[in-house]
Amino acid sequence: MKWVGIAVVALAAAAFLLRPRPAAFDMKAKLAEIAKNEGTWDNQWDHAKEKIAELEAGLAKERDPIKIFQIRREIARHQLYEGTNEEAIAGFQSLLDEYRAQMPPPAAEALEGELAFAWFRLGETENCAMHHNADSCLLPIRRGGMHHLPRGSTEAVKHYAALLADPAIDSENAYSYRWLLNLGYMTLGGYPEKVPKQWLIPPAAFASGSDIGRFEDVAADRGIAEFGAAGGLILEDFDNDGALDVLVSHMGVEDQLEYFHNDGKGHFTRRTKEAGLTGIVGGIDMFQADYDNDGCIDVFIPRGGWLHDHGKFPASLLHNNCDGTFTDVTAKAGLLAYGPSMTATWADFDGDGYLDLFVGYEIDRKNVNWPPETRNFALYLNNRDGTFRDASAESGIMLDGVVKASVSGDYDNDGRPDIYVSLLGKPNKLYRNLGGGKFEDVTARAGVAEPVMSFTTWFFDYDNDGWPDIFVTGYFATLSDVAREVLGDKANARGERPRLYHNNRDGTFTDMSREAHLDQLLLTMGANFGDLDNDGYPDFYLGTGASILTALVPNRMFHNVEGRTFEDVTTSGGFGHLQKGHGVAFGDVQHFENLAVDRTYQIREDQSALAAR
pLDDT tens, residue by residue, 39-97 = 999 998 889 999 999 999 999 999 999 999 999 999 999 999 999 999 999 999 999 99
For residue 205, the number of C-alpha atoms closer than 13 Å in the C-beta half-sphere is: 18
For residue 190, the number of C-alpha atoms closer than 13 Å in the C-beta half-sphere is: 15
CA 65 to chain centre: 39
Distance, in Å, from the CA atom of 43 to the CA atom of 255, rounded to the nearest integer, reads 13
- H/E stretch holding 419 reads strand 418-423
Distance, in Å, from the CA atom of 549 to the CA atom of 229, rounded to the nearest integer, reads 13
pLDDT per position as a tens digit, 258-303? 999 999 999 999 999 999 999 999 999 999 999 999 999 999 999 9
Give the chain's mean pLDDT.
Answer: 92
Which residue type sits at 295? G
Instruction: Return the pLDDT at 591.
Output: 60
Q: What is the mean pLDDT of residues 410-421?
A: 98
pLDDT of residue 353 exceeding 90:
yes
> Rounded to whole angstroms, what are the CA distances from 217 to 134, 210, 600?
5, 20, 10
Instruction: Return the pLDDT at 292.
Output: 98
pLDDT of residue 611 exceeding 70:
no
Band of the pLDDT at 613, cuts 50, 70, 90? very low
- H/E stretch holding 560 reads strand 556-561
Please name the residues in contact with 513: beta carbons below 8 A apart, sequence gap of 6 or more.
497, 498, 499, 500, 519
Cβ atoms within 10 Å of 64's Cβ, excluding its own: 9
pTM of the model: 0.92
Instruction: Return the pLDDT at 547.
Output: 87
pLDDT of residue 17 exceeding 70:
no
For residue 582, the number of C-alpha atoms closer than 13 Å in the C-beta half-sphere is: 26
Distance, in Å, from the CA atom of 412 to the CA atom of 408, rounded to the nearest integer, reads 12
- In the β-sheet with 509-511, what is the strand arrangement from edge to edge? 454-460, 469-474, 499-503, 509-511
Band of the pLDDT at 342, cuts 50, 70, 90? very high
Cβ 275 vs Cβ 366: under 8 Å: no
| Per-residue b or e along 177-211, where b marks 16 or more CB atoms closer than 10 Å to that residue's CB | bbbbbbbbbbbbbebeeebeeebbbeeeebebbee
Q: What is the mean pLDDT of residues 169-191?
A: 97
Instruction: Return the pLDDT at 589.
Output: 86
pLDDT of residue 339 exceeding 50:
yes
pLDDT per position as a tens digit, 226-266? 877 889 999 999 999 999 999 999 999 999 999 999 999 99
Cβ 303 vs Cβ 282: under 8 Å: yes
pLDDT of residue 24 exceeding 90:
no
Distance, in Å, from the CA atom of 30 to the CA atom of 216, rounded to the nearest integer, reads 40
Q: What is the mean pLDDT of residues 530-552?
A: 94
pLDDT of residue 555 exceeding 50:
yes
Q: Would you call 49 helix, strand, or coil by DSSP?
A: helix
Q: Would you call 429 helix, strand, or coil by DSSP?
A: strand
For residue 386, the number of C-alpha atoms closer than 13 Å in the C-beta half-sphere is: 11
pLDDT per position as a tens digit, 127-145? 998 999 999 999 999 999 9
Instruction: Return the pLDDT at 303.
Output: 97
Nearest CA among 237, 281, 240 for reference residue 260? 237
Cβ 172 vs Cβ 474: under 8 Å: no
Instruction: Return the pLDDT at 5.
Output: 35
For the chain, give the percent of residues with pLDDT over 90.
88
For residue 239, the number of C-alpha atoms closer than 13 Å in the C-beta half-sphere is: 17
CA 364 to chain centre: 19
Cβ 136 vs Cβ 144: under 8 Å: yes
